[in-house]
Amino acid sequence: MDKLAIIGGRELYGELAISGAKNSALKVMVAALLTADTLTLENVPDLADVRQLIQLLTHLGVEVEREGSTLSLTTGDISSTEAPYDIVRKMRASFNVLGPILAREGKARVSLPGGCAIGARPVDLHLKALEAMGAQIELDEGYVIATTPNGLRGAEITFPFVSVGATEHSMMAAALAVGETVLMNAAKEPEIIDLADCLIAMGARIEGAGTETIRIKGVASLHGATHQVVADRIEMGSYAMAVGAAGGELLLKNGRRALLGEADVILEQAGLTLSDEEGGLRVTKWGRPTVGTNVETAPFPGFPTDLQAQYMALMSLADGTSVICEKIFENRFMHVPELMRLGADIHIDGQCATVKGKKVLKGAPVMATDLRASMSLIVAGLAAEGQTMVSRLYHLDRGFERLDEKLQSVGALVERVKDED
């Protein structure tokens, strides 16, 4: 098992390429199940989660070819309508194969999902949406067994709260349903727009993606297409916060402010300078103190829950006190004890953490507890005095492509080492 060794105190300078968005790539890959033609996806990151989904899609009958960052997926026939526990348990996003299989084959048996241990993320909204479209669903020994005796049909679906996964799942199923489906209180994330753009390129009829009301008029079939995956806003925000912690200036290639939503304003209030320019987003932090700034996570365009841990690392080095409230997931402060090992002063009270900034953090051995928590420890380690050793890098490998190489290219002293334990 690998670890990441970091010697802090080096400013970051240069250009760093932002990969395609993991959270978008996984969903547009699943969309390949909706057509017998080839779906070609460009800018697909090489991540553990992507490789895991390829394993599941191959099991279902998808022929997958990869050349660099381009994936070609062809589902001439769905050879299996079952997504087994051994594969689905490893990654939550794989549950979204249920709707496309059901839309195309009329039946599906899919294991309930696994994923990061950051609190309950039930799939009931996914299932209720499919039931509204005419699916009959049973739960049996950890599996969802779904059938459509009369096919999927358009429906009006109002989500009781904003759910990215349920919005994406419903969009894919509705693309092949008979009639019009209206999704209300839909998620607005850039990944929703990216999936809609991919489906539209495949022949789907979708309006309103990126707003709270999405309309999908079902079509009889979809065709092949080529689609480029949007840049990863979470990777972009994470590297911006690394600049905030360590200092310096980076051009985040392929990035742009709009993908950050309201997080760009928060980062500027905290002391960074962000500017769109040809080729990407420039992030600068010179000679200005980091300012303690309060944050509350919220659905897009609000501050992303997937940047909360990294922002807490940045606030650990701020002048003053900040309050960070997590309103999306429970149990998402598992990184706090590890940041405290580096010297951070953090007090948790329910859904909120009070962070008293310190001038200096000290390197120490720390352990990643989930994907985004691993990045928070790296942000802190880049600024800490001495060596920080981050273990359990398999979390990091799920969502950040070639992180050690990218950081090395902009001056960070980081090295991936083998765990001798």
Q: Does residue 167 surpass a pLDDT of 80?
A: yes
Q: C-alpha 3: how far from its chain's center?
A: 22
Token digits of residue 370: 């989930």
Mean pLDDT of 105-116: 81
**Percent of the chain, pLDDT > 70?**
97
Query: Average per-residue pLDDT in the chain?
Result: 94
Q: Does residue 72 surpass a pLDDT of 90?
A: yes
**Predicted local distance difference test score (pLDDT) of residue 420:** 66
Each residue's pLDDT tens digit, 180-207: 999 999 999 999 999 999 999 999 999 9
Mean pLDDT of 5-20: 97
Cis peptide bond prior to 301, omega within 30° of 0: yes
pLDDT band at 114 (very low <50, low <70, confident <90, very high): low
CB neighbours of 152 closer than 8 A, spacing ≥ 6? Answer: 102, 103, 130, 133, 134, 135, 173, 174, 176, 177, 178, 218
pLDDT band at 1 (very low <50, low <70, confident <90, very high): confident
**Predicted local distance difference test score (pLDDT) of residue 418:** 84
Q: C-alpha 124: how far from its chain's center?
A: 20
Angstrom distance (rounded) from CA 374 to CA 210: 29
The type of residue at 211 is T
Residues belonging to the binding site for UDP-N-acetyl-alpha-D-glucosamine are 92, 121-125, 306, 328
pLDDT band at 120 (very low <50, low <70, confident <90, very high): very low
**Predicted local distance difference test score (pLDDT) of residue 268:** 97
Tell me the whole-structure pTM to 2 decimals.
Answer: 0.94
Angstrom distance (rounded) from CA 359 to CA 378: 17
Each residue's pLDDT tens digit, 36-56: 999 999 999 999 999 999 999
Residues belonging to the binding site are 22-23, 92, 121-125, 306, 328
pLDDT band at 25 (very low <50, low <70, confident <90, very high): very high
pLDDT band at 119 (very low <50, low <70, confident <90, very high): very low
**Predicted local distance difference test score (pLDDT) of residue 90:** 79
The type of residue at 174 is A
Catalogue the active-site residues.
116
Angstrom distance (rounded) from CA 175 to CA 198: 12
Angstrom distance (rounded) from CA 264 to CA 257: 6
Q: Does residue 421 surpass a pLDDT of 70?
A: no
Each residue's pLDDT tens digit, 338-353: 999 999 999 999 999 9
Q: Does residue 277 surpass a pLDDT of 70?
A: yes
**Predicted local distance difference test score (pLDDT) of residue 117:** 41
Residues belonging to the binding site for phosphoenolpyruvate are 22-23
- Best CA proximity match to 103, nearest among 35, 182, 177, 166: 177
Token digits of residue 329: 């997931």
Helix (H, G, I), strand (E, B) or coil at 375: helix
CB neighbours of 330 closer than 8 A, spacing ≥ 6? Answer: 118, 119, 120, 351
Angstrom distance (rounded) from CA 256 to CA 322: 26
Q: Does residue 251 surpass a pLDDT of 90?
A: yes
Angstrom distance (rounded) from CA 305 to CA 234: 10
Alpha carbon of 19 to those of 91, 244, 409: distances in Å? 20, 20, 15
Q: Does residue 410 surpass a pLDDT of 80?
A: yes
Show the domains of the chain with their CATH numbers.
2-19+231-418 (3.65.10.10), 22-228 (3.65.10.10)
pLDDT band at 116 (very low <50, low <70, confident <90, very high): very low
Q: C-alpha 304: how far from its chain's center?
A: 10
